[in-house]
Amino acid sequence: MSIFDKIQHAIFGDKGLLGTGIGATKAPAPAAAPASAAPRAPGVSPAPAAPVIPVAPAAAPHPVDVEAVLTAKAAALGKPSNWRTSIVDLMMLLGLDSSRQNRTELARELGYTGSTEDSAAMNIWLHRQVMTKLAQNGGVVPPALRD
């Protein structure tokens, strides 16, 4: 599971949004039904095909209020957290390893092209990018927290 997927899982839980993140893979397409190989007698019409019943697409999952979830997690910890601007605090709030190595890996996952040696610039970019990706994957994120 990618680091972003772990962030997403920690916020969204099992609300049907998992598998939509950076490391997600799509389910294989269903195989086509095999054509009937049974020979028919001359002059005998083929058996009628089974009726096609349209299937409604699955209902979209309900959006998750990311700010509310994170605010509740911070309140439950009972200690100050600067998760609204700090990727380190955000990861710590979610119980994830916020080490520089993990943040660098997250930056690679999300396509960071700047210098990973400039951790301040990388951290600012990471926080905004994570919030933007959460919004793209079904989270409700205030515009001030994303790009």
Render pLDDT for 13-67 as a digit per residue (tens, 0 to 9): 876 444 444 444 333 344 444 444 455 556 656 666 656 665 555 445 678 999 9
Residues 6+ apart with CB under 8 A from 2: 21, 22, 23, 109
The β-bridge partners of 64 are: 139
Asked whether the predicted pLDDT for residue 142 surpasses 70, the reply is yes
Percent of the chain with pLDDT over 90: 61
pLDDT tens, 122-135?
A: 999 999 999 999 99
Using DSSP, state whether 89 is helix, strand or coil. Answer: helix
DSSP assignment letter at 65: E
Which structural domain range is residue 124 located in?
A: 3-23+62-145
Asked if residue 39 is part of any domain, the answer here is no
Structurally, the chain folds into a number of domains equal to 1
Query: What percent of the chain has a predicted confidence (pLDDT) above 70?
Result: 68
pLDDT for position 44: 59
User: Residue 11 above 80 pLDDT?
Assistant: yes
Q: Domain for residue 45, yes or no? A: no
Average pLDDT, the chain: 81
Q: Are the CB atoms for 119 and 86 separated by under 8 Å? A: no
Residue 107 lies in a domain: yes
- Whether 130 is covered by a domain: the verdict is yes
Could you say which DSSP state residue 64 is in? Answer: E
Burial 101-126 (b: 16+ CB within 10 A, else e): eebbbbbebbebeeeeeebeebbebb
Section 95-102 average pLDDT? 97
pLDDT for residue 27: 38
- DSSP class of residue 82? -
